[in-house]
Amino acid sequence: MVVTIMPSIKELLRQLRKQYPDYDFVAGDEFRWSGASSTIVVAANAATADAAYILHELAHAILQHNDYHLDVELLRCESQAWNYAHETLAPRHKVPVSINLIEDALDSYREWLHARSACPNCGQTGLQNKTSTYTCLNCRCSWHPNDARQCALRRYKLPLSS
């Protein structure tokens, strides 16, 4: 049996900076990718167990996930980034990325999407028909939700159109 030792966060970041010089790796409050500045933000308190999140954000960079227009596109990008991190980057950098971690992360986006698409009038699932507007197929209510990835979800009803 071959045992591989996962690199420390410091060593992993050293390797990634060397292998991916087009991206800046900086400390911040949370893990995220900024396509506008080609920056991967690494949580300042990241522990070795958080290495999977670094690879996930790197996957967003490599896959050029710079923007999305519909909420379901964000879920697609998240799924693609986790898959690339798991299948390609994790073996290359000797970082374990568990399926349970991936599913938990994707579940948070699925729950976010479901909450945003729930009609504030009748509770049925609506369809997103513009960048930030939903319409309920059941009662015809229209609304736009706030971003709500870092704050409480709010859905604002729009006036009925004739």
Which residues, 6+ apart, have CB-to-CB distance to 105 below 8 Å?
56, 78, 82
Q: What percent of the chain has pLDDT over 70?
A: 93
Residue 161 has pLDDT above 70, yes or no: no
- % pLDDT > 90, the chain: 78
Q: Which residue shows structure tokens 């950098």?
A: 93
| Confidence class for position 3, pLDDT limits 50, 70, 90 | very low
Q: Give pLDDT tens digits for 58-113.
A: 999 999 999 988 999 999 999 999 999 999 999 999 999 999 999 999 999 999 99
Which domains occur in the chain, in start order? 9-114 (3.30.2010), 123-157 (no CATH)
User: What's at 127, amino acid-wise?
Assistant: L
Mean pLDDT of 116-128: 95
Paired tokens of 75: 């879920």
Give the separation between CA 23 and CA 25, rounded to whole angstroms: 6
Sign of torsion over alpha carbons 8, 10, 13, 14: negative
* H/E run at residue 99: helix 99-117
C-alpha distances in Å from residue 161, one per residue of 49, 112, 134, 155, 156:
51, 27, 13, 18, 15
